[in-house]
Structures are given as C-alpha cells and as structure tokens.
Amino acid sequence: MKYLLTILATAFLGVIYAQPKGVLSEKKMVPIPAGIYDPFFIKTSPVPIKVAAFKLDESAVTNLEYLEFVKANPQWRRSKVNRLFADSNYLRHWESDVSIGINNKDIYNSPVVHVSWFAAQAYAKWKNKRLPTVQEWERAGIAPPKDSKIKSVVDYIAKWYSIPSPKVLPNIKSTYENTYGLHDMHGLIWEWTFNFNSFIGTGDSRGNTEDEIKAFCAGGSINVKDKSDYAGYLRFSYRVSLKGNFCIANLGFRCAKDN
C-alpha cells in the first residue's frame, strides 16, 4: 500500500512538473474602427487620410514573447544577427542569446526593447501579423484614457517625456488603458511603425527636396496642426531620427493585423 501511494504520489508530481511552463497565451488584439487620420503636418498631406479598420495588439511585445521568436529563429539571436538589420545594441539587456537572465526577472513581462525595425518586422511576420503604419498607430493612440482622472493626455505624455527612462522598465499594462482597450500607448516606451521613415525633413535640411521646403521652409511650426501638441511633434521628430537597424533602450513595438 505504501508503495502504491509512493507510485501515485510520484506520478502526480510528474504530471505537475511535466506541464510546459513556457507556452505563452496569444496576445489579445483590439479592433480599431475605420476613421480619419488628421495628419500632424498639414502641408505634407493636404487631405485627411482614411484609415481602414484594423486590429492592434493590446500591449507591446514582451521580452518573454520575443524570446520565443528568437528561439524559433536562430538568425535573430544576438550573436548571429546581421548588423545590417540590427546594430550592436541588439538585445543587449539580455543575459545571453536565448536567456533573458534570472536576474532580469522583473522585465520578463516588460516590453522588449533594443530591437530594430527589421527585427520587429520579422517578429510580426512570424506571428502572421505586421507592424502598424504611423497613421494607424497615431489614430489608435489618440483615444483618451478610460480613467477620467487623467484630464489631459498631452500633459500626461509631456510629463513622461520629461522624466528619464527608469532603470528597470515597468511591465506592460502599467500605464493607462485607452477607450479602445489599448494599454501603454503613451507613457511606457516608444514604438516602431511600418513606415517610420515617412515624414520628410531631416535635421540636416538644406531645402534640397520639395517636401523639406513644404515641411520646414517659412517655419515648420506654421504648418503644424495643433501647436499645443508638443508631444506629437516630438514623436514625429523622434521617428525621423531613426534608422532601420537602430536598437534603443526605450524603443519597442506591438503588432497589427488587417481586419
């Protein structure tokens, strides 16, 4: 009898410990209805752009989620990645190629950062998704917080921009949820978009291109839609400063999908 109990007990424990622990549940996607995206810079796009309905991940891709991708796609491991597609800061916050590190437990569910556009793009493809366009991202991000205590999103964002990045990046869903049901659109990280290299006008503008003239000559600020939206201006400036292989400490992504 004792032996039978032992066998039963060991079998029971065996079942418990044989459960795969690493399988993550599919990230929830939130439907964003069709609508108009009113471009930030009026002159570059004279007509408001129609954005079709689409779906967007409710939160940014986490380190744990990204680890699954890296395991399945060895060419995206830190030691193997092509520098053309990811600079030397790629996943520098991880312990090794396929380990975030037990000392980094706090960031398992934080957004993955230090990832390039090419890496984000490859992840999205692997998930049968895609990166959102700037237009889609801005349209989704403009929705107000569910929490009516946050009076001004612009002030909220400006406050976030004004403080240095925390040493340990907080987990997803640690800032506000907007009325679409999207978490952390502002206040946690910056996010890659499919066409981040869209906006014309570089810091080194010499008016060589038609659109640099449109965007900047005679004072760019005159053409800005809402002069009080300083945060929006910063986002556009930030995007234009990026290159596809940049890997940055506060830049991650979330995926989109057609409806």
Partner 1 sequence: MKSFLYTLFICSILISCGSNEKKSAFEGEVMNEHPTAPVGTIPDQSIYMLTDSFQTQNNEKIILKQFAGKPTVIGMIFTHCDYACPRLTADIKNINKVLNAEEGKVNYVLISFDTERDTPDVLKKYADNLRLGNDYTLLHGSEEAVRTLSILLNVQFQKDAEGNFSHSNIISVLDKEGLLVSQKEGLEANHDLSIASLKGMLK
Query: From the list 171, 174, 197, 223, which residue makes contact with partner 1 (rule: CB under 8 A)?
Result: 197
One character per residue 66-105, x = contact with partner 1 (rule: CB under 8 A): -x---xxxxx----x-xxxx------------xxxxx---
Helix axis angle for 134-141 and 230-240, nearest 10°, is: 150
Does 219 interact with partner 1 (rule: CB under 8 A)?
no
Does residue 240 belong to the site contacting partner 1 (CB under 8 A)?
Answer: yes
**Pair 174, 185: CB distance under 8 Å:** no
CA distances from 143 to 140, 147, 232, 250 (A): 6, 12, 13, 22
Closest separation in Å from C-beta 67 to partner 1: 7
Query: CB of 169 within 8 A of CB of 60?
Result: no
- Minimal distance, residue 196 CB to partner 1, in Å: 8
Residue 175's CB is within 10 A of a number of other CB atoms, namely 18
CB of 117 to partner 1, least distance (A): 6
> Is 179 a binder of partner 1 (CB under 8 A)?
no
Contact stretch for partner 1 (CB under 8 A) within 25-33, 137-145, 224-232, 237-245: 237-245
Which tokens go with 201? 């006008």
Pairing of strands 190-191, 251-252: parallel
Assigned token pair, 109: 């569910």
110 binds partner 1 (CB under 8 A): no
Determine which residue in the list 6, 79, 88, 165 makes contact with partner 1, applying CB under 8 A: 6
211 touches partner 1 by CB under 8 A: yes
Applying CB under 8 A, among 59, 62, 110, 121 the residue interacting with partner 1 is: 121
Q: Residue ranges of the alpha helices (H) in 47-183?
A: 63-72, 117-126, 134-141, 153-162
3-state secondary structure 141-163: HCCCECCCCCCCHHHHHHHHHHC
**Rounded distance, CA 95 to CA 107, Å?**
12
21 in contact with partner 1 (CB under 8 A): yes
Q: Which residue from 25, 162, 167, 206 is in contact with partner 1, where contact means CB under 8 A? A: 206
For partner 1, the closer of residues 59 and 116 by Cβ is 116
Contact between 203 and partner 1 by CB under 8 A: the answer reads no
Q: How many residues does the chain have?
A: 259
Residue 100 identity (one-letter amino acid) = I
**Is 28 a residue that touches partner 1 (CB under 8 A)?**
no
The residue ranges of DSSP E strands in the chain, in sequence order, are 29-32, 35-37, 49-51, 54-57, 190-191, 251-252, 256-258
Residue 128, interface with partner 1 (CB under 8 A)?
A: no
Interface with partner 1 (CB under 8 A): 2-3, 6, 9-10, 13-14, 16-18, 20-23, 44-50, 64, 67, 71-75, 80, 82-85, 98-102, 108, 117-118, 121, 194-195, 197-200, 202, 206, 208-212, 214, 240, 243-244
